[in-house]
Amino acid sequence: MVLLHYKINKQLHKYFLYNWIMNIENNKTYFIDLDGTLFDKKVGDRISHKNLSAMLLVKNFANIVLSTGRSYSDKHVMHTMHRLGITDAICSSGAEIYIDNVRKYAFFIDNEILPMIVDFARNNKLMLVIFDQNGESIYLQRSIERFLINFFASSKFHIISTFKKLNITNHINITKIALVVKNKFTVNRVLAKLDALFGQYCNFHLASANYVIEVTSIKTNKGLATSLYMQDKQMDPEDAVHIGDSDSDFTTRPFVGHLVAMKNGTSKLKSAADEIAPKSKNGGIWKYFINKGKNKKDN
């Protein structure tokens, strides 16, 4: 009896999802954030079977573009694009735009400002992640932190080192810097300092549950990159939907027809969103599309 109930529920979910999918206009484009949105698992494959199934169905009727703070070379980005069979992505928080798996646009942080940002990170005891042509490199305050990162995340980073060994000139074509704070309750104060010092050169946005400050060239962010992508594709912004969870995703608000915030998203994003989706964990994206299907059926 329990097995029969499970099978019936599974079929109903498929029906609701398919019912909504059939109502998608073919020219819609979904810009999907990864961490805190599509990624609903912490280890192994970051996407659950439910979320993967939802995206593969949506892909039959709409264009899917990843929009992430991760670099294109990140193994989870590449694996996700392969599993979804997609070729377009906005990476490094808008600093890189890939179309047909080729980087068509890139925005680099001004070399003159880089040493000052490094000094700021060192003086404020922040972890520093540099995104450049070799991928992501992390610099830490203490050797014990370096040891822990080496032990738990050695495959993620090109370089794992301390500030003492950091020579910023060894990093070529830096697209993004991520500053990691230990206490998110101090992050707004740090953000305000950064903006006051370097706001004319860089954009700063919060991500990763407000533990990370993303730094990009003043010329780009997720929103500006989304706009540039749509211009390249000659898309109507009204046909664009962005789904995310952070203040970085908030920057897409002026450029897309529909903004969806995950329930686990920041207050700033949720206040600006057209719609609130379920929390990302345990198939949040799948639940979002299932609920869409139910609403279509009720109407």
CATH number, domain containing residue 48? 3.40.50.1000
Chain-centroid distance, C-alpha 215 = 14
120 and 182, same domain (yes or no): yes
Asked which of 159, 184, 217 is the last residue of a domain, the reply is 217
Query: Do 195 and 170 sit in the same domain of this protein?
Result: yes
Please state which of the ranges 10-14, 197-201, 246-250 shows the lowest mean pLDDT.
Answer: 10-14
Asked if 276 and 263 count as a contact pair (C-beta separation under 8 A), the reply is yes
Same domain, 228 and 168: no
- For residues 124 and 45, membership in a common domain is answered with no
Same domain, 75 and 135: no
Q: How many Cβ atoms from other residues are within 10 Å of residue 149's Cβ? A: 17
**Final residue belonging to a domain, choices 199, 217, 235:** 217
Backbone φ and ψ for 241, nearest 5 degrees, come out as: -125, 130
pTM of this structure: 0.89
* Total domains, the chain: 2
* pLDDT tens, position by position, 13-59: 555 556 555 555 567 999 999 999 999 998 888 999 999 999 999 99
Query: Domain of 187: which CATH number?
Result: 3.30.1240.10
User: Does 96 lie in the same domain as 118?
Assistant: no
Question: Count of H helices and E strands in the chain?
Answer: 10, 14
Out of 11-25, 108-122, 283-297, pick the least confident: 11-25
If asked whether residues 97 and 229 sit together in one domain, one would say yes
If asked whether residues 252 and 266 sit together in one domain, one would say yes
User: Of 182, 200, 217, which marks where a domain is finished?
Assistant: 217
Same domain flag for 231 and 199: no
pLDDT interval class at 9 (50, 70, 90): low
Same domain, 207 and 120: yes
State the angle between helix axes of 187-198 and 114-123 in degrees (0 to 180), rounded to the nearest 10. 150
How far is 52 from 295, CA to CA, in rounded Å? Answer: 21
Residue 182's domain comprises: 114-217
Long-range CB pairs of 98-103, under 8 A, 24+ apart, other chains included: 98/72, 99/229, 99/232, 99/233, 103/72
Give the model confidence (pLDDT) of 150-168 as tens digits: 767 767 888 889 999 999 9
Nearest C-alpha neighbor of 177 from the set 218, 118, 124, 220 = 118
Identify whether residues 179 and 209 lie together within a single domain: yes
